[in-house]
Amino acid sequence: MNNREVAKIFADVADMLSIRGDIIHRVLSYRKASEAIHELGRDVNQVYAAGELTDIPGIGKTLAEKIEEMLTTGKLEFYEKLAKEIPPTLVEMLKVDGLGPKRVKQVYETLGITTLAELNTAAQEGKLRDLPGLGAKSEAKLVAAIAALARHGDNRTSIGEAWPLAQEILAELAQLPGVVKTAVAGSLRRMKESIGDVDLLVAADDAAPIMDYFVQMPRVESVSGHGPTKSSVVLHNGMQVDLRVLPLERWGTLLSYFTGSKDHNVRLRELALKQGLTLNEHAFTPLDGGDEILCASEEALYKVFNFPYILPTLREDRGEIEAAQKGQLPDVVRIEQIVADLHMHTTWSDGKMSVLGMAQAAQTRGLRYIVISDHSQSLGIANGLTPERLWQQAEEIAAANAQMGPDFRILHGTEMEIRADGSLDFDDGVLARLDFVIASLHVSLNQPREQVMKRIMTALENPHVDMIGHPTGRLLPDRPGADLDMELVLQTAVATQTILEINANPHRLDLRDSHVRRAVELGATLAINCDAHHVDHFELLHYGVATAQRGWATAETVVNTWPLEKLLAFLAKRK
């Protein structure tokens, strides 16, 4: 079994246990284990072989034994026994908006319904309305929710789709009378690569008119809830958006609570109890009945714990609280520290702008140097460059450098294809003449691990290859990327001093955050690039920076925070 398969079984077990009605802590332990394995930056088989399963956050002795069973037998006996009591097909029903575990259990035990299709038929035939706690209105809502699921699907939404949409809605709400502050919360504020729904927060004294406006926005398809301080809607694109409104003086606790993660919040509440306080979205409250402690900012909240401010991108209960307690919280890379972009395309291959146009746009955004890295010859679909065209391009780059002046530099590079047969697209003689060489996988990503690993290792071990672009080649949400032994890739990159890219395009975010974290632990060198094919793509940089932050990467480990002289010296030394 691989990471995805182990994580899927644990996730299904968590859902089946919740339907059965097990205690919440047992359900959460399996859910957290699923997330930990899914986000693990290493092959779980290698972690098991090294005897380090219990080093994974959330994995104790019992869960480690279950992982061992899956890895050695290909199945989990506990899951199979549970499946005889709770049919696994019931899990699919939990995807329906408004249908929780208790209701799923009710329709199963009362009506014998085991699939989403059976549920839909029963609802349309009016067989649910007589169940305790339902009724005709609730039944109609379920029919609509099942139809919405069929229209929109249940895939998590890419951060690249969710973030700009959330900003548009917030900008609209910010114009309303009485609105003092607005913010994104939840997994979107923590900048996870995909999100289940969008959480929005507003600070205002009078919530009612804001709620009324929110549920009536033209982009709203249906209203799931409309309360005094919280409303929930489904947009025409299928995305669920929740809005909460509280007074400004409670903004810090509100923002912290609804940003999460759930595990980070649990740790904060436990620490508060040790200080004689309870903590929720409204305030700290002394256990002895004293006055509330209000926090108008998150900085004020963390000050109660005597912590420095913890960035939202770090709040996953992956050691950030312990680091804060010890004064060892990493000073992660920030967007204003990025001074270069080392991966972009022009009209010479599949880009939309000229060399000069890309350089001028980069300078306008505060960058000091760039690498022009158009595709190489074998990627015909992208109009890849032959060596002859590469040298013609060099003349245009020289002319553009002269026009840009001494305060900006354009380096000449290539994004060279790692071919399906394992060879590189240019020979060493061509590569030696370039300022910067990227090697990337684009084709035959579904090759067996042994075969695709030979390809990536060929690039890593070539002294002329300076960086591996978007290492797995994944495209979110549909293409998972090559089945690489990431631990070996990362270790080899450290040994050869090959830079690994964090591709900021939200359809890639490759390296993913868990691999960044492992790369940082091993001492790898990273770069955050936009892979821009148009000047507008420079605006994607913040997604890559957030991914780097989630992996605890500091500016020193990210080469495009370095001045040009330092980068050139590094490249010369490694060759």
Residues with Cβ within 8 Å of residue 64, at least 6 apart in sequence: 53, 54
| Residue 301 φ/ψ region, left for φ over 0, alpha for ψ in the -120 to 50 degree band, beta for the rest | alpha
d(CA 210, CA 227): 11
| Average pLDDT, consecutive stretches of 10 residues, N- to C-terminus, the chain (575 residues) | 88 94 90 84 86 91 96 95 93 83 91 90 88 86 77 69 93 96 96 92 95 92 89 84 94 95 94 96 92 95 96 96 95 98 97 96 97 93 93 97 97 97 96 97 90 97 97 83 92 98 96 95 98 96 98 98 98 90
Q: Dump the DSSP string for 196-247.
A: SSEEEEEE-S--HHHHHHHHT-TTEEEEEEE-SSEEEEEETTS-EEEEEEE-
Pairing between β-strand 198-203 and β-strand 181-185 as defined by DSSP bridges: antiparallel
How is residue 438 written in tokens? 């990227």
How is residue 429 written in tokens? 């003689």
25 and 32 in contact (C-beta within 8 Å)? no
What per-residue confidence (pLDDT) applies to 405? 94
431 and 418 in contact (C-beta within 8 Å)? no
What per-residue confidence (pLDDT) applies to 80? 95
d(CA 485, CA 498): 16
Amino acid letter, 562: W
d(CA 493, CA 149): 43
Domains of the chain: 3-152 (1.10.150.110), 157-246 (3.30.460.10), 250-325 (3.30.210.10), 335-574 (3.20.20.140)
d(CA 96, CA 88): 15
Count other C-beta atoms under 10 Å from residue 377's C-beta. Answer: 20
Q: Exposed (0-12), middle (13-18) or buried (19+): which is 33, by Cβ within 10 Å?
A: buried
What per-residue confidence (pLDDT) applies to 42? 75
What per-residue confidence (pLDDT) applies to 208? 94
Amino acid letter, 567: L
Angle (CA) 251-254-258 rounded to 5° is 140
